[in-house]
Chain A
Amino acid sequence: MQQTESFKKRIDKALHNEQARINFRSGMSGLMTKRATQFNDDQELQNMRDHARAIRSYSLSHLPELLEQLEQKLVSNGIQVHWAENSKQANEIIYQILKKADAKTVVKGKSMVSEETGLNEYLEHKDIEILESDLGEFIIQLAKEMPSHIVMPAIHKNCKEVAELFKKHFPDLPYTENIEELTLMARNILRDKFVKADAGISGVNFAVAETGTLCLVENEGNGRMSTTTPNLHIAITGIEKVVARLSDVPPLFSILTKSALGQPITAYFNMISRPRPANEKDGPQHVHLVLLDNRRSQIRMDDELLDTLRCIRCGSCINHCPVYVQLGGHAYGTVYPGPIGSVLEPQRLGLDKIGALTSACTLCGACGEVCPVQIPLPKLINRLRAESVNSQRSEAQISGKGSLRKMLEANTWVLWKWIYANPGLYRVFRWAARRFRKLSPNRLGGWTQYRTAPVPAAKSLQQLAREEGFSNE
């Protein structure tokens, strides 16, 4: 139960961070509005979601074959492929590639999978300088923080906080709170690093099996710089990111950018198919892809939980979540926050480690409604709640099943069932609740801290129905 307590503490901390709450509220409101402007025809949106869902479902149902095809194509294109079962393996593989190339400095494009493996920390321990080149990631790297959002990692900071951070780290540069000037500063610092870096690391949005193409979606050009300027490029991604055909990419790309930031298209879209041939001047001579499992294979084995893997990481569920907007990402304590985090992370890390995330949800359904690939997020959160209090109910390969079962709570539900499954007992219970309504407690834990306590009515609906002449058959 330790995780429940520490989650409570993180929630408490988040709810008391007034500035961050203001930042999240304005950030999420803006993102919701922008997304809405991209989808003004409900039927068209539904068609797009159906198409995107079908593409991703096909990928998952044909995953082994597609991964095999992807590997073959990449290798024949000259891209080296590595398989990692877990984070540790992925980090070691990347380190070995860097070591072999004698690479000491790395620039990195944004990659959530590398956050998943803790790559930066790992490489820093190996004395490799790794610099985040996405502006948001750059900011949080300076602040030594985790991303608070999967698309906008520094959304928890306002421009004043960023200005102060820059002043602290670059005391020679003039202080400014102007966003354009701050961006330009970061750009100048990064330009120099791009030119000098020994290697670039990036994520992948879609890996096309048919052609062996790695697609990278970005807005700042830092992804292109990271993957083309240094002589070595290492891409890392989860095995679920594969798609069958090149023609699958445009529909996914389109719904991704519209859902994520309300953009019709991003400023940059990179398609990486091979290293630089001898007769060309641009691009890295060596390209590697690390394909990470990290329990994705196990998630795929369950017919229902499998839907988790359709995710294209747009962050739309996060932007629309009424809980996330109160808390921000750090309170979740995981790489992926919000609804998708509450579904993915307990499966990835274990219900015994982080299953408590599933309790931070009202099941309002806002996430599922906007998901571009129609992941039934509320249904999956509910399913994981069931798994977390019952170790026997399914074959799903999730660690920590039943670990959140508390005796008192379980017994309360047995008592509840006993009353509500027996109309006779229910009538006695109802009679007692009404009879002693004046005695009903006016303090009910956390409920009455914010609200008055509900009081049973003088007469039940059943009684009123009879008095008003409604029949019972």
Chain B
Amino acid sequence: MQKPDTVYFFGTCLIDLLYPNAGLAGMQLIRSAGVKVIFPENQTCCGQPAFNSGYREEALQVARQLMTCFPGNIPIIVPSGSCGGMIKQHWPELFKDQSDYDEACSIAERTYELTQFLVETLDIQLTDLGQPVKIAIHTSCAARREMGVAEHIESLIGQLSQVETLEQERKPECCGFGGTFALKQADLSGAMVTDKTKAIRATGASKVISQDCGCLMNIGGALDKQKAGIESQHIAEFLWERSHATD
């Protein structure tokens, strides 16, 4: 894609409520590259929680409401691999046999995950203004497999000269979030996030960075509960803080 004049930003419901600074940082990164960012007021959720729980009718109605927020032929940037994957991969399936199927496909085509947009389209160049830090990266499964963009988080962090990335064991393994899975299969999810945090703690990193707030809520929540002293942060917020330290 050529660099557009304007993009929509779909902040996602999780970020809107729990991690607004991650969303804001994503918008600031795009704006700083000279692209106008529109944040449509009526956006809520992509429908993923209900879709993954089998409640497709409910998912459809929520997705349809979100669809009205993105008219025209403007790219939509999503700071989440799984919400991006929901729209890009699963909306065409969700809207199959519906009268607004074509519109859903158009939105799916126009949807980009944030790190993908920063790297592939904006070719963003960052200067690290932060203190030296050791981090671990958790790549979201949806960013990896549904969006196919897992490597971009690595290359963006690679631009930051003061950041050392430590590799945890079994890095690509799922953290055990899985949306309602974490509630329905709480102990199983707990066992998975316990393994994941053990691996991250063993690296000696002081921060864990991911491109998905679902994973961060899970991993970060577990690290906090364990009083591990490891901060969790969304990639957008991490990049913005380090490249715009005086802002």
Contacts and interface: CB of A to CB of B under 8 A. Distances in A.
A468 B240 CA distance: 14
B21 interface: yes
Contact of A388 (B52, B54, B177): B54
A452 B28 contact: no
B145 interface: yes
Nearest to B173: A322
Interface residues of A, number: 67
Interface string B54-70: 11111001101100000
Contacts of B217: 451, 454
B145 A368 contact: yes
B53 A385 contact: yes
B39 to A, nearest CB: 4
Interface stretch (A114-122, A146-154, A252-260, A441-449): A441-449
B166 interface: no
A473 B9 CA distance: 11
A265 interface: no
A421 B221 contact: no
A191 interface: no
B52 A382 contact: yes
Given A382-B51, A413-B55, A322 B176 contact: yes
A66 B163 CA distance: 60
Nearest to B216: A454
A322 B174 contact: yes
Contacts of B18: 454-457
B23 interface: yes
A393 B38 contact: no
B15 interface: yes
A140 to B, nearest CB: 24
Contact of A472 (B41, B176, B195): B41
Interface of B: 9, 11, 13, 15-21, 23-24, 27-28, 31, 36-45, 47, 49-58, 61-62, 64-65, 93, 141-142, 144-146, 170, 172-174, 176-179, 181-195, 217-218, 221-222, 224-225
10 nearest A-B residue pairs (beta carbon)? A446-B186, A362-B178, A451-B221, A385-B54, A364-B174, A450-B190, A365-B145, A461-B20, A417-B58, A364-B141
Interface of A: 11-12, 15, 29, 322-323, 326-327, 359-366, 368-369, 379, 382, 385-390, 393, 409-410, 413-414, 416-417, 419-423, 426, 430, 433-434, 445-457, 459-465, 468, 470-473
28 contacts: A11-B185, A322-B192, A326-B192, A359-B185, A362-B178, A362-B179, A362-B192, A363-B141, A365-B145, A369-B145, A389-B54, A416-B58, A417-B50, A417-B62, A419-B44, A421-B64, A423-B43, A426-B44, A446-B187, A450-B222, A456-B18, A460-B20, A461-B11, A461-B23, A463-B20, A464-B24, A470-B31, A472-B39
